[in-house]
Chain A
């Protein structure tokens, strides 16, 4: 009985995801900031992130007929973005620019960002400095570590969702996350 109820729920979820995809403008409106955020955090390159976000939704539009709702729309779109990012990172030209660019802090303009619960200029400046330090530390992570870290701590995805999105084992995801946190902790702790 429980199994039947579970199956019905899955079918309902699938139908809902497929229905959600029918209004593509709404899909773009809801998920575009999320995909852009993921790509921006992962690539630390605004132009590339914007281009890949556009390409991600173009791919999704072209492949919308193949979407069966086996995963959530967010997971499906993030998986497309991850694949695009991998292709992009594999290209030699990008590796060259990434190497040449060096410090990418100027890419993320947070001069107009005011963190919640902070009103004094000192607090705001301190918060911005902390973000800049973490941004730099994240940039030093390997591609896998960065993807797992961003999906977990920026996109707030569950570990099994991350495993599904990145097509990795759960243990591999945990291992990447553990190493990423160790690196970040070391970098952030060392700066104090």
Chain B
């Protein structure tokens, strides 16, 4: 019985020694951490008040950027697109002006035959003054001829 107790006591002693050492290590660890934290706590520090003000300023600037960037973009786009659009419009108008005679020419070329016919008929209709008596004569001749024809029919 005594032997049994001695056998059980050994692991217990080991365990308590382990626990004691762990506790000591943890105490040293705490002390070391306190030392490190104290040392670093003295490092550069910005007061939260100042930091909050800076943060607000930064947030405001960010908000402004969010508003201004699209507005500037739109302005820039308008500044670039409007002249370009105007230029394109003017160019189109100029092309239209230059291109206008073309349909006229086409019309003219289409009406050529009509014009020729018109000129031809004018030429045939407009008898020069010098030939006017002949025209009367031919009219007279034709009248006479028609009268004769009527008479022949009556006969």
Contacts and interface: CB of A to CB of B under 8 A. Distances in A.
Interface of A: 24-25, 28, 32-34, 36-37, 40-41, 46, 49-50, 54, 57-58, 60-62, 108-110, 112-113, 115-116, 127-128, 130-131, 133-135, 138, 153-154, 156, 181, 184-185, 188-189
Interface in B11-69: 18-19, 21-22, 24-26, 28-41, 43, 45-49, 51-52, 55
A189 B22 CA distance: 8
A46 to B, nearest CB: 7
B18 to A, nearest CB: 5
Given A108-B32, A189-B18, 6 more contacts: A24-B49, A33-B38, A34-B37, A108-B36, A112-B35, A154-B29
Given A61-B49, A127-B28, A154-B29, A32 B41 contact: yes
Given A57-B48, A189-B18, A115 B36 contact: no
A41 B33 contact: yes
A54 B30 CA distance: 22
**Which of B18, B25, B45, B55 has the most chain A CB atoms closer than 10 A to its own CB?**
B25
B65 to A, nearest CB: 22
Contacts of B19: 185
Given A28-B48, A57-B48, A153 B18 contact: no
B45 A54 contact: yes
A131 B40 contact: no
Given A61-B52, A110-B36, A134-B25, A154 B46 contact: no
